[in-house]
Amino acid sequence: MQKPVFAANWKMHNGPQETRAYLQRFLAAYPEDPSRTVIFFPPAVSLAIAGFALRERPEILVGVQNVYWEEKGAFTGETSAPMARDAGAKVALVGHSERRQYFGDTDEVTARKCAAACKAGLIPMLCVGERLDERERNATQAVVLRQFKTGVSRLEPSQIANMVIAYEPVWAIGTGRTARPEDATAVHTAIRRSLREMIGPKAAEVPILYGGSVNAENAAELLAAPEIDGLLVGGASLDPETWVRIVRA
């Protein structure tokens, strides 16, 4: 049984000074626990300071919230995967629903970003999830599997075996509505089946996280559900003490 993964997506919160203050409080409340993996996704401008603040806790990883697929060049405002790695990132979030909704990241763009992350030695955490209208017309699994299959279409099987997947129903992100554990399990099971078709028994080792209005009260129940290997948390990760309670769920 792999270790549960707890990933904090700070979105556009916590600049460098706030990151330093947050991590001081978090580290004071969270002694090393080898039974779980913790990942922070700060904004790109705070990556280096997060890496520095966590330098004595190598078991806690830092990730970048988004990368561009080119390595360098005239792409004003973008961050490449090698640059994020240089700043301390080990993981790259790709295909988050806010990227898809507000910045036009398509399945194909997401696939390029996944490939760029792998090429730079970052672990891609690929986010997939259906909108409410898609759930209401029973298209959840079709949408999620399309996003997943296209997202990994540029990866080698060995790269797929080393990635992380996050199922985040769009209607649950930041809304206070959470998927029922059994509904999340059904989607995770479908993703796992698809993974098995691609990479065989190694599919069992790929963590599939749930995200969408997770908080300190519902985290344990979600984690206990079959096929939920960890949690990706936005809003509730912004308070360090609440985040410690979730990580200990």
User: Which of residues 235, 243, 244, 247 is near ligand PEP by CB under 6 A?
Assistant: 235
212 lies in the binding site for ligand PEP (CB under 6 A): yes
CA dihedral 31, 33, 37, 40 (to 10 degrees): 0
- Closest to ligand PEP by CB, 128 vs 199, is 128
DSSP strands (E only) in 17-94 = 37-41, 60-64, 91-94
Lookup: tokens for 171:
């209607």
Site for ligand PEP in 7-66 (CB under 6 A): 9, 11
The residues, any chain, with a CB within 8 Å of residue 16's CB and separated by 6 or more, are 45, 46, 48, 49
**Contact status, residue 6 vs residue 230, Cβ threshold 8 Å:** yes
Q: State which residue has the least CB distance to ligand PEP.
A: 234
Q: 96, 98, 130, 134: which one is catalytic? A: 96
Q: Report how far residue 36's alpha carbon sits from residue 125's, in angstroms, rounded to the nearest whole number.
A: 17
For the CB of residue 185, give the shortest distance to ligand PEP in the complex, in Å.
Answer: 17
241 is catalytic: no
Q: 130, 134, 168, 188: which one is catalytic? A: 168
187 lies in the binding site for ligand PEP (CB under 6 A): no
- Closest to ligand PEP by CB, 18 vs 202, is 18
Size of the site for ligand PEP (CB under 6 A): 14
227 is catalytic: no
User: Which of residues 5, 38, 203, 214 is near ligand PEP by CB under 6 A?
Assistant: 214
168 lies in the binding site for ligand PEP (CB under 6 A): yes
Taking every pair of Cα atoms in the chain, the longest distance, rounded to a whole number of angstroms, is 49
User: Which of residues 81, 120, 173, 206 is near ligand PEP by CB under 6 A?
Assistant: 173
- Closest to ligand PEP by CB, 82 vs 188, is 188
Q: Report how far residue 234's alpha carbon sits from residue 29's, in angstroms, rounded to the nearest whole number.
A: 19
- Which H or E element spans position 126? strand 123-128
**Contact status, residue 127 vs residue 168, Cβ threshold 8 Å:** yes
Residues that bind ligand PEP (CB under 6 A): 9, 11, 168, 173-174, 211-214, 232-236
Show which residues are catalytic: 96, 168
